[in-house]
Chain A
């Protein structure tokens, strides 16, 4: 199984901050990585696929980078609507999610 590890588990930040979430794979997954945002009581929402491709309709302040085993999700300037939990998912072999990063208001 490919294990996905996100860091940090919790991140406190303020509106306007630039934040970065990291996702590491236990083995190389090329660029087969997606990022999702989930708000309480709601289904996840796709943000990024193939490591750096922005899903249609997602604000450009979200960006993804990386390949191989290390990936990042960056929000360039936090907005109030961005406080949520973020998950990475590898889809190179089967499909595995990271444990999530909760982005909280500082």
Chain B
């Protein structure tokens, strides 16, 4: 059971370049998320999806786009990378437990550096 898999794990970009981060989950979860984590700022939600074919903006969506063409995949795109997008990106998927908790399972993270 792989859980949530993110690729790539590391990437260095030059300002203005584009790239896509890939996230795949094998738990049949409906909900998927992209967070970024910066020192001292915790986890901030970029975009999320409540199901195949749907996406919505989170707290910090500017400069990013997402797509959820298949239930198991959630892609995060940077069309024109900026140094401010240097961060660690986490993908997560979730289900609701019997207690009502929204339990997120995170991928291992993708460390992106924009020069």
Question: Are A and B bound to each other?
Answer: no
A interface residues, Cβ below 8 angstroms from B: none
